[in-house]
Each structure stands twice: as structure tokens, then as C-alpha cells.
Amino acid sequence: MAELHLKSWRFRAEREADWRRLEKLLAKAEAGGAANLRRDELLEMPILYRQALSSLSVARSISLDQSLTAYLESLCTRAYFIVYGARTRLPERMARFFARDWPAAVQALWRETLVSFVLSAVAAVVAYVLVQRDPDWFHSFVEPGVASGRDPTATTAALRETLYHQGTASESLSVFATFLFTHNAQIALFAFALGFLLCLPTAALLVMNGGMFGAFLALFVSRGLGLEAGGWLMIHGATELFAIILAGAAGFSIGWAVCFPGERSRVDAAAEAGRRAATAMAGVVVMLFIAGLLEGFGRQLIQVDYARYAIAAATLLAWLAYFYWPRKPAP
Amino acid sequence: MSVQAALSRLRTRRAPRPPYDGWRELVTPEGVDLRLKVGAYAERFAALLIDFAILFGSLAVFSLVALGVFWATKATWGSEALGVVWLLGVFVGRNFYFLIFEIGPRAATPGKRAMGLRVAAADGGRLTADMVFARNAMREVEVFLPLTFFASRGDGVDGALIGLGALWSLVFVVFPLFNRDRRRMGDLVAGTMVVKAPKKVLQPDLADTERTASRGLSFTPAQLDAYGIKELHVLEDVIRAGDRKAMAEVAARIRGKIGWEGPGDIADRTFLNAYYAGLRGRLESRMLFGHRRKDKFDVG
């Protein structure tokens, strides 16, 4: 005697099988992505999703069973995230990142890149001049841990030794390279994340980094080791300093969007800048990885100054061409 | 223009935002509002603690295994590779644990999943890899910076500076409490938010009128008009919870209120079930005619 049943009871009885079917497909998709579904299941999903959505709006207006509406809300939300979720797979996503997204993000940051380059360069020049006048300044720019004996008190011979130091078998180049990479990546992430605080901490990090570079250079130049030190620093520095400047630029773009959001709300502006900057930052981590390899292996294995300079110039040119070579706009 | 008029104009310029109630509307392209619940601060904190327990636990196990292998082999060539593996492992763990889980189809780390949370794009669009990367890169200042400050020790000026730094970094920790959607800075920068996405099971319908009618239990319209939707939902909760004592109490209350004169020897559960079905039928049919009776005081 179906007439005795409530409308909402019959409503549920008619559709329950479809909901259960959708639930099953969702469990499958959530366990391993949409790739886990068969072709017909994939086609079925959006239809079931729309059915569930329409069930939800009907249930809201005719049913007072709160457990039913709560169930449908949870079911629709889960289905919504699967149906409208990102569907690209990781390899495709990676390919697009290297082919288009990364250079595009870096190109979009050209103003900020220029600013952070100028900041670093000015800091380097100031540190260079100060240390040349009075070597005591060196300690203000370089932490003793980083200097590890390469300071004004060291003898020229000892300094030369550090430039052409060949790791003995017991000393592990690869460990050193890995350490440098993780260390620098952490610093770059900081430069990016601190940009949110109105650019200032990022600027301070860039100035510190530039100052360290200038102070080192001044120390070595004062001992007549300028050319050699340049090669020693630039073989990986061309990549590493570029990466840190880009990280600073990414931080600046967020801070700038927070300070001057324009027509949009501050939150929207920050979110937009944040997404673009994050793409650039993912690339910065890749660059730092390469820099770590160059620093750990390349610098210890290649002992000829001109070869070091050649590698530095080649990497710099390669990066510039990769980032700024005009591309066709994305379809 | 008087001062008061000017002030009121100033006040009305900005549309008042609805107060925080933990809900957030998300309208799908099909035009249905899914009504998401924003993840509460405590839940997110708990999720973070779970994730940290997993992360640091596995890092500790990983380090122990690395150390064990080192001791066992005692080979010089081995120690180098081991050092690289360890450093990279810690780096990947610290920076990519959150990233990898949140890029996946569930958009949640194990801790978030345990608390029924997931990451969603704040505008209701699709969650992209860039967003997840941005929100987790910001974690560096929001979580690891305060931790560094709290872990460092110093005397005199150093100590004072560390104290100030800790105080300053506290801003990040309490930041989510000061906005409507409980978003942390990483969420703002990435344009994401954390919402509740619990898995609900479909429970049996309580209003199985065919069964209750067969028991000969029926109520007059006047008896069914005693309560509104709010009471119906409370009744549903009581029946589903199935607590004998609470059911007896509620059944006695209802019997008294409606002046029940039917058979008195029915079990409380059966009685409540029957009344629930009757009340729901009555309220639902009135709803179809456009009258939603909020609660028992709503007699208009």
C-alpha cells in the first residue's frame, strides 16, 4: 500500500540506488584518482552527480529528514570535488610546467626580478667597498659558520687553498652538495614566504645575501685572488644567485599585491599573486637543485678558472634564454 | 549635514558582512548551494599535530634505519650515499609531505583526513597544484619559524630578541582566528580554504509509515500540531541515538503534551517512531503548501 508512505519516503526509495552507485564510484575515484575508473564509469559519474545535486535541492524543499539532507550534502560535495577537480596527471602537469608555466610565471615577474637584482647588486657593491676600506666589516656581512675560516685573518695561501680544494676520498662531495641544496632551498622558501609581510623581510634577506657575496669578493680581491674567486663563486652562483633573486621577486610580488591591491580586494590580489609566484618558486627549487650539483660536483672537479667561467656564462645564458625567449601565447 | 548623518553615511558605505557561523556557501555551476562547513581551528590544529606525529615519527625511523645500515656496513663508500639519502629524505619529508597528499584526489593529508577535513579553492573553482604549493610554501614561516623561535635559547639581549621573535611569530599561529573562514596566511596567499568534508553513511529512513500504521497507532491533526521542525529534528536525533533512558523521558513528555489516550503498553521506541512519522508527514505536507513551521512557538 504505497499510498500510505510519505512523499519524502517515496522520493528516497526511488533514488537511493543511484546514490549508492555514485558513492561506490566516488570511493573508487578517491582511492586512486579518476584513472582508476573504467570508461563507462567515467561517463556515468557526471550524470549521477547531477542527479544527486537535483535530489539534494528537492530534499531540501520537501524532506524534513535531516540525516538524509546531510548525507546528500556530503555525497554531492565529494562528487563535486571529483567532477570539478583537477584532472591532469602528474607527468602531463610536469611537462606543461617546464614547457610553459614556469617561464611564463618568471616573465610575469620581470619588474620584481629587476628590483631584487638591483637590491642584491647594490648590497654587494656597498659590502665590497666597505670591506675594502676596513676588513673588519667582513664579520658584519658574513656569519662565521658560512665563512668557515675564509676571513681576513686567514693567510693568502690558505685562501687560495680553499678555492682549489680537492675533496679527499674520505670527504664526501655529494653529501656537501646535498647539504647546500637543502640549505639554499630553505632560504629561498623563506624569501618567498616572508614577502607576504609587506616585502620588507624579503628585501632584508636579499641585502644580506648580496652583502655576503660582496664581502667575500672584496676579501679575495684584496689578496690578488679576484679572478680565481670569481670563477669559484660564479660556476654555481650564476644559477644560485639567479634563483635567490627570483625567490625574492616572488616574495615581492605578493607583498606588493597586499600593499597595492588596485581594484580587487586585498585578499583576492594576494591570492592571484601568490599562485603565480608559487609557480615561479617551484622552479626556483629546481634551479637550486642544479646549483647544488654544480657547487658540490662541478666546482670540486673542475679546477681551471676559464672552464669555471665558461660554465657560469653558459648556464646564465641558458637560463636567460629559457625564461625570456619570446613564446607563443598559451592557447 | 549633521555630524550624525555624516557618520551614518560612512557606516552604510560598506555592506555589513554576515557574522561567523562556520558555514560558507559554495554554489556549483549547476546552481545548487552545497553549504560547506569551515574547518574549525581546533580540528585543524589536531590535524596538524597528527601530521607532525606521522612526519617526525617516520623521519626518526628513517634516521634510525640509516644509522643502523651505517653501523652494520661500516663501509666508507656507504656512508656517503647514506648521508645524501638522509639529507634528501629529511628535505623531501619536511617540504613535500603536505604537498604530495594535498595534490592527490582527496586533497588532504592523513591528519586532515582523520579529522574529516580537506583543502578547497576558496572561490569554489578547481584546486590547482600551484595553490597547494603556495599554501605549503607559506607553512615554512607559519609553522617552522615559530618552532625555531621556541626551540632556541639565549641569554641577555639574545634572549630578549628570541622572546620578541616568538611573540611576533605568534601572530601567524593565531591568524586564522581573526577571519571568517579560519584561513591561515598560506590559505590567503594561495586562495584556498580548509573545509569539513566528512563521509556520511545513509541511515535508514525512520518514517516507515507502513509499519507504524499496522500497529494501529494514529494521531489526530491536533495532536500532530503540537510541535514544529526544530522539535522534529531533536526527536530524530533521540531516536537515532537509541538511548533507552532519553527515549523514555521524551516519550513521557510527548504523551503528556498531546494527551495520549491510545494503548499504553507500546514500547517507547515504537511510540516515538510512530509519532515521528506522523509529525514529519504533517509538517512536510504543510511545507508543500508553503508553510514551514519553524518550531512549536511558530503558530502563524
pLDDT single digits (tens) B261-274:
877 778 888 888 88
| Cβ contact A6–B30 (<8 Å) | no
Which segment of A155-169, B45-59, B62-76 scores lowest on mean pLDDT?
A155-169
Closest CA to A154 of A229, A210, A208: A229
Check A277 against B134: CB less than 8 A apart. yes
Q: From the list B32, B84, B206, which residue is nearest A174 (CB)?
A: B84
Helices and strands of chain A, counted as H and E runs: 15, 0
- Whether residue B191 and residue A70 make contact (CB cut-off 8 A), yes or no, is no
Q: Do B205 and A279 touch (CB under 8 A)?
A: no
Q: Measured between CB atoms, which of B128, B200, B207 is closest to A70?
A: B200
Of A74, A190, A271, the CB nearest to B200: A74
**Taking the C-alpha atoms of A240, A242, A247 and A252 in order, what is their torsion angle to the nearest 10 degrees?**
150
CB-based contact A187:A180 (threshold 8 Å): no
The shortest C-alpha distance from B46 to chain A (Å) reads 22
d(CA B257, CA B297): 14
Q: Which residues in chain A have their CB less than 8 angstroms from residue B28's CB?
A: 53, 76, 80, 84
Please work out, in degrees rounded to the nearest 5, the angle formed at the alpha carbon of residue B220 by the alpha carbons of B218 and B221.
Answer: 130
**CA-based R_g, chain B, Å:** 29
A97 to chain B, minimum CA–CA distance in Å?
10
B128:A84 CB<8 A? no
- Whether B95 has a pLDDT exceeding 80, the answer reads no
Interface test with B, best of A22, A65, A259 (most B CBs within 10 A): A65
Nearest-5° angle of CA A269, CA A204, CA A125?
A: 125
- The verdict on a CB contact (< 8 Å) between B84 and A175 is yes
Contact A72, A52 (CB under 8 A): yes
Instruction: Read off the pLDDT band of B211 (50, 70, 90).
Output: low
Check CB contact under 8 Å for A6 and B277.
Answer: yes
Look up residue B283 and give its three cell numbers. Answer: 509538517
Contact B34 A93 (CB under 8 A): no
Return averaged pLDDT per consecutive 10 residues of chain A, 331 residues in all.
70 92 90 77 91 93 89 91 71 81 90 94 93 85 69 77 58 61 74 80 87 86 83 86 91 89 85 85 85 77 85 92 82 56
Q: Is the ipTM of this complex over 0.85?
A: no
- A69: nearest CA in chain B? B202
> Could you tell me the pTM of the whole model?
0.75
- Give the DSSP letter string of B94-134: HHHHHHHHHHSTT---HHHHHTTEEEEETTSSPPPHHHHHH
Which ranges constitute the DSSP H helices of B27-75?
41-73
Which residues of chain A does B84 touch, with a Cβ-Cβ cutoff of 8 Å? Answer: 172, 174-175, 178
Q: Would the pLDDT of B77 be above 60?
A: no
Residue A2, pLDDT score: 42
Asked if A71's CB is within 8 angstroms of B203's CB, the reply is: yes
For B233, the closest chain A residue by CA position comes to: A66
Which chain B residues are closer than 8 Å to A282 by Cβ? 130, 133
Q: Which of B103, B137, B233 sits opposite A66 (nearest CB)?
A: B233
User: Inter-chain contact B127–A282, Cβ cutoff 8 Å?
Assistant: no
Sort out which chain A residues have CB atoms less than 8 A from B210's CB and list them. 1, 4-5
- The arithmetic mean of pLDDT across residues B68-87, rounded, is 70
CB pair distance less than 8 Å for B137 and A192: yes
pLDDT higher than threshold 70 for residue B6: no
Task: Indicate yes or no: CB of A193 within 8 angstroms of CB of B197.
Answer: no
Rg (CA), chain A: 29
**For all residues of chain B together, what is the average pLDDT?**
80
Name the helix (H) or strand (E) containing B196: strand B192-196
Choose among B118, B125, B203: nearest Cβ to A67: B203
- Out of A34, A50, A174, closest to residue B80 by CB: A174
Cβ neighbours around A247 below 10 Å, total: 34
- Which range has the worst mean pLDDT, B50-54, B131-135, B243-247? B131-135
Q: How far is A288 from chain B (nearest CA, A)?
A: 13
Instruction: Provide, as residue numbers in chain A, all residues whose Cβ is less than 8 Å from the Cβ of B91.
Output: 181-182, 185
8 Å CB contact between A219 and A152:
yes
